[in-house]
Structure 1
């Protein structure tokens, strides 16, 4: 049924739980996984604390290190499960769009991702990458809460 499952991650605990569940699901199906993390672009003026004191070069170095850590978690889980895994890092301010576009361009049959479960005003103001993926994806999406 599913042959390639996209596992996007932001390095959070919710993402890691979804990755473990997605890898287990892929193993049951004999599918391969594609790990994906999206690094934000550097902005001089930002609300994100990690950018306030950085130069663009330092931000790129730190972001790349975090991305390697996030993707190594996926690689390790896949290796332990004995399934094929490839990983990608993309720079963009629209993670949901990268997730949707990657699923199509890399011919993924399923997107398996975590939900941060923002509700109320935080959900309205901050939005939800998961919600945007659900709304815009033509590829089936499996959400782990």
Structure 2
């Protein structure tokens, strides 16, 4: 089984990581597990001001911040995983990665770190649920 664990460093993402660990540990054969983070692109003016190297460092810092809690939890659970990062809006990046990687399941938190979210379900989770052909497990 191939599982894409999409995280953003939020509390909900940490809960999703716990669920992914529990699911992986319950399987007879360990799943192929990919930990993913998508960072929103900078506005062109900001990216131009930072330059290529500054922009790369900015996104790398955001990836590291978002992946660190899940990375730590997966290592403590002694689960093997790879990482995937993207500079794109989260929902399309997750959908594209799930389809291209032929994943069997996407696991993600219900609400991320964005300032705006709907009352019951975060906008990224709602978009992934409605547009993905891959089954999605949303964790609160």
Query: Structure 2 CA distance, aligned partners of 1:31 and 1:110?
Result: 10
Query: Structure 1 CA distance, aligned partners of 2:78 and 2:2?
Result: 15
1:1-145 matched pairs, under 5 angstroms: 3-29=1-27, 30-44=30-44, 55=50, 57-92=53-88, 94-116=89-111, 122-123=117-118, 128-145=123-140
Query: Structure 1 CA distance, aligned partners of 2:24 and 2:127?
Result: 24
Any conservation in 2 of the 1:24–1:81 contact (CA below 8 Å)?
no
List runs of 5+ in structure 1 lacking aligned partners. Answer: 46-50
Any conservation in 2 of the 1:39–1:90 contact (CA below 8 Å)?
yes
List runs of 5+ in structure 2 lacking aligned partners. Answer: none
Give the superposition deviation at 1:22: 1.3
Task: Give the TM-score taking structure 2 as reference length.
Answer: 0.79
Give the superposition deviation at 1:12: 1.1
Query: Runs ≥4 in structure 1, deviation > 4 angstroms?
Result: none
Corresponding residue for residue 48 of structure 1 = none
Query: Structure 2 CA distance, aligned partners of 1:102 and 1:21?
Result: 20
Query: Structure 1 CA distance, aligned partners of 2:40 and 2:11?
Result: 19
Any conservation in 1 of the 2:104–2:135 contact (CA below 8 Å)?
yes
Task: Give the TM-score taking structure 1 as reference length.
Answer: 0.77
Give the superposition deviation at 1:59: 4.5
